[in-house]
Amino acid sequence: MNALSKDMSGPLALFANRLNTPTGAERQSAAGALARTGLPDRKVEAWRYTALRALGKQDYAAPPEQVDASTVRALLDGVLQAHPAMAALPRVVFVNGRHAPAFSALPDDVDLSFFAHEPQFGLQAAPDRDPLVALNTVLAEDGLVLRVPAGVDAGHVMLISLGVAGAEPLSFHPRHTVVVEKDAHLRLICVQAGQGTYFHNPVMDIRVEDGATLEHVTLQTEGAQAISLGTLYAHVGHQSVYDSFVLGLGGLLVRHEVHAHLAATRGEVHVNGAQRLAGQQVGDITSVITHAASDCTSRQTVRNVLDGHARGVFQGKVLVERIAQKTDGYQMNQALLLSPDAEIDAKPELEIYADDVRCSHGATVGALDDEQLFYLRSRGIPEHEARQILIDAFLDEAVALVVDATAQTFCRSVLAARFAGKGEPS
């Protein structure tokens, strides 16, 4: 099959050595879609604020079969030491997109399998519409397939993705599936970390079935030279809850894209988050929340703290279909700019076809409050500490939205350790 041979210029050429032998109907269809569209640029509305130029600065090789164990252990310890409770939680560890059994401690109350053994592309992902999902579909080698049986409270599970690159830039494209069956409950904590130059392109397909609850927290601390472009699909059933939060701290270029579909009555979706970026970092949180049934609720609050030449992007769309009467939707993006060179691009959006709804959205941008800063300094607090107090207070209101106490403490511990004693991110 040579569907990509017609257009291997530009960014697609970066993966040419890995795009020539897709097998299976899904991979072949995705390869054809990718050949037709290429990777997105700013002419594509959904990517108008986030350019992928950084992706085209080097070629990407497939990850090596063997990775230095001491490097992996050091990265993993860095994750687990942020909060003592983390080390005791069951975890599934992936290194460069492949399951790493030696570093995992598998949970007992869930059904686990892996994409490498039995490829499952899921029912929600749309490679014909989303080029990065198409790229993942062609190149996916491994990923977690996790199922919580009906009625089971599975407690906490950590999904840890580590990128380890040496002199040669790498790319990896894990494909994860999470199903929480009827009346079940799962608290999923995802951590992304790494070192070196790599491209992490994960896709996650989530189903929260009737009466079930999934509390999902993602802590993103990718390596300083990493590009991470993740896409997540969540299908939410009757009287079920998908409650998510992403904390974005690392990476050179990072996008967290969520497509949540409220498919049955009285479903609930929360897509909250916070980003703290500096230097030349770009962080993009994009969401599309579709209300396709009546009496459903969605909430989205995202806060950004940006310093240096960092740029934050928030694109949030709430789509209310005609059938979705009595929808309750709320969306807010707030940004704190610590530098005159920092930038936030915000695009909250409502598209409503029903007539009995309660929906609102908004965005605010500002700097640290001089009066509050003066008040703290007048009490003898040094300027850098006063600035840190105000920044922490701003972010803490977002982190407080994390429902699970363990995950909330974990996020706060990582923030405190990363920025301790600093008046601004570094």
pLDDT of 70-88, one tens digit each?
999 999 999 998 888 899 9
Beta carbons of 262 and 296 less than 8 angstroms apart:
yes
Range in 99-108, 125-134, 275-284, 328-337 the model is least confident about: 125-134
The confidence score (pLDDT) of residue 5 equals 38
Cα 366 to the chain's mean position, in Å? 25
Tokens of 119: 């490829």
pLDDT band at 375 (very low <50, low <70, confident <90, very high): very high
Q: Could you tell me how many helices (H) and strands (E) the chain has, helices first? A: 6, 21
Residue 356 has pLDDT above 90, yes or no: yes
Beta carbons of 195 and 75 less than 8 angstroms apart:
yes
- For 270-281, what is the mean pLDDT? 97
Q: Is the dihedral of CA 85, 87, 90, 96 positive or negative?
A: positive
The confidence score (pLDDT) of residue 59 equals 86
The confidence score (pLDDT) of residue 88 equals 94
Residue 34 has pLDDT above 90, yes or no: no
> 412 to each of 300, 401, 409, 415, how far by Cα in Å?
20, 12, 5, 5
Beta carbons of 156 and 267 less than 8 angstroms apart:
no
pTM, rounded to two decimals: 0.93
pLDDT of 162-206, one tens digit each?
999 988 999 999 999 999 999 999 999 999 999 999 999 999 999
The confidence score (pLDDT) of residue 3 equals 40
Residue 290 has pLDDT above 90, yes or no: yes
The confidence score (pLDDT) of residue 1 equals 36
Residue 6 has pLDDT above 70, yes or no: no
Tokens of 30: 């995705």
Beta carbons of 61 and 168 less than 8 angstroms apart:
yes
Q: What is the mean pLDDT of the chain?
A: 91
The confidence score (pLDDT) of residue 12 equals 59
pLDDT of 190-202, one tens digit each?
999 999 999 999 9
Tokens of 27: 């991979």
